[in-house]
Amino acid sequence: MPMHERIIPYLERAGLYHLARLNSRWFWLDEAMVNAFIERWRPETHIFHMPFGECTVTLQDVVFQLGLPIDGRAVSGFLAEFHERFRVLPEDVTEDTVRIYARAYIMLLLSTKLFGDKSANRVHIQWLPFMANFDDMGSYSWGSAALAWLYRCMCRVANRNITNLVGPLQLLQSWIFCWFPSLWPSGFNDFSFLLASRYYLFGRIL
């Protein structure tokens, strides 16, 4: 779903603009590398057990990697298809229509980039209550919720015979590249904050 410039102010008010920037660019995902790290995940401690010691993804990483707010109200919460309906924002529409498309974009963003599941192309209507006020959305701790969901997804893979990892994988891969320099892709140092944005160049080269 393309990010139209008219919905950007609403994404900023919701505190999700930095995440949306990743959504508007092709974020290349190294599944083999990510799965290799998941194999070292220990659900009982929420820690990666590495040959040299232990490490994990923290709230500070969430801020640095994706720019999501970690302070504020807790985020707590079936499915409906509407991707085609809101695919393109028509020209010369009213501001009310822009707000509708902005809410649709945010719901898609939350359901795929932060709290994605195996349905992939569907959107959870549980996010509807958060759409009532854009300024209120910015007061929620989306970063804390995303980190908790990442932990839960990795624990599911570690505890069960599940092969497909879902969740905020941009966060996990960005964290890997940040703390394991030997795995850096070409062009990693060409971008600064947000850290995950550095991979735009690498994805374009591929």
- The pLDDT tens digits for 142-163 are 889 889 989 988 888 877 666 6
To the question of pTM greater than 0.75 for the whole model, the response is no
DSSP state, residue 140: B
Yes or no: say if 196 and 20 are a contact pair by the CB < 8 Å rule: no
Q: What angle do CA 172, 106, 2 make, to 5 degrees?
A: 90
Yes or no: say if 14 and 137 are a contact pair by the CB < 8 Å rule: yes
Q: For the residues 2-23, what does the mean pLDDT come to?
A: 80
pLDDT band at 20; cut points 50, 70, 90: confident
Q: Residue 54 forms beta bridges with which residues? A: 49
Judged by phi (left if over 0) then psi (alpha if -120 to 50, else beta), residue 193 lies in: beta
- The pLDDT tens digits for 33-84 are 888 898 899 888 899 999 889 999 998 888 887 778 788 777 755 445 555 6
Helix axes 31-38, 169-179, angle to 10 degrees: 80
Q: Which amino acid is at 190?
A: D
Which pLDDT does position 204 carry in this prediction?
38
Instruction: Give the max Cα distance, the chain.
Output: 58
